[in-house]
Copies of this chain bind each other. A is one copy, B any other.
Amino acid sequence: MAGRYAVIMAGGKGERFWPLSTSKHPKQLLALVGDRPLIAQAVDRLDSLIPPENVFVVTNADLVEAARAAVPMLPPENIVGEPIGRDTAAAVACGGALIAARDPQAVFAVLTADHVMGDPDVFRATLRGGMDLAEQNEILVTIGIRPTSPQTGFGYIESGEDFQVLENVQFKKAVRFVEKPDAETAQHYLNAGTFFWNSGMFIWSVPTLSRAFAAHCPGMKQLMDELKEYAARGEIHRGLEKIYPTLGKISIDYALMEKADNIVMACGTFAWDDVGSWPALENHFSPDENGNTLIGTCEQIDSKNNIIYSKDRLTAVIGAENLVVVQAEGVTLVCPKERAQDIKKMVAALKEKGSFEELL
């Protein structure tokens, strides 16, 4: 059996949960849901499936130390920092290169650091089944999540004919990857039953990935090969610094998944949420009798359906409805829930002012 590995992709700008998250302390380093940083939970979930020395983390160069501190169970050299973000295709190639340098026949999972998942046994069964299939077949395995609501915030995968059942997990041929839909289309996807949320998690072998890159995105094949040489010499960071500035940005979906025809999708049935913004926290906490999600030191009077997150200090809310109120890292943020996507605009506006750098 080929060696089994994982690459946890842990980039991110830390804008959506600002001011709690910042560029120096983005979402994956926060214990947003649960007691441990999300990235530590991502490593914990691999327990018994993939040994720690086979788990790599690809993150931003300036987050390497913080990430190492958050996942001390991993060998520090397994946490690798990209000097600049070059989207997911390059991160996958980087992870693939690190693994290929260890084991050219390895099978590995590409996982995310900042999602919240439940049902870890089902998750591990999905990975185990996918790895078995990826070892035995020239296929790219992607993990779809069976949708439970008509989400417009995720991309979708349309599934086709059955491929195999392994570990009680249904694997199907993937027909196509589609972008985030509008509400009507999302409802259609949900009703159809054949569409799955694109989780951004993948499983493949080093040789299959390498061949797929060669066929659909030769630049990534070259990147992976070159980085493998650097990794083999223990000089991955030197390689990244040399090559990354020459790369364009391209996502793994665009570079590979939307082009390849040998894609198999696992029908993921474990709980999964990307917790993409403050309002998404409502799904992970029990609201009070007025629908308020209160996290930390909060007091409310006559308030309804708010999300109040108060780290360390007291936040008091009177007669408010449908607001996000956050007090963290010395900053207070107030916005209606439906404007939470505009927190990025606020971060950008503050960045432009230049005087709030340590808060962003």
Interface residues of A (CB under 8 A from B): 19, 299, 301-302, 310, 313-320, 323, 325, 327, 330-336, 339, 342-343, 345-346, 349-350, 353, 356, 359
Contact = CB atoms under 8 A, between A and B. Distances in A.
A335 B356 contact: no
Given A299-B349, A332-B310, A332-B332, A343 B318 contact: yes
A335 B319 contact: yes
Contacts of A320: 323, 334-336
Given A299-B346, A342-B301, A350-B299, A336 B315 contact: no
Contacts of A313: 330-332
A350 B19 CA distance: 25
A319 B336 contact: yes
Contacts of A349: 299, 301
Nearest to A350: B299
Contacts of A314: 19, 330-332, 350, 356, 359
Given A330-B313, A332-B310, A346 B318 contact: yes
A237 B339 CA distance: 57
A334 B336 CA distance: 12
Given A299-B349, A301-B342, A301-B346, A335 B315 contact: no
Given A342-B301, A349-B299, A349-B301, A333 B319 contact: no
Given A299-B349, A318-B335, A332-B332, 16 more contacts: A299-B346, A301-B346, A313-B331, A313-B332, A314-B330, A314-B359, A315-B334, A316-B332, A316-B334, A316-B346, A316-B350, A318-B334, A318-B342, A319-B339, A320-B323, A327-B332
Contact of A331 (B316, B330, B339): B316
A335 B359 contact: no
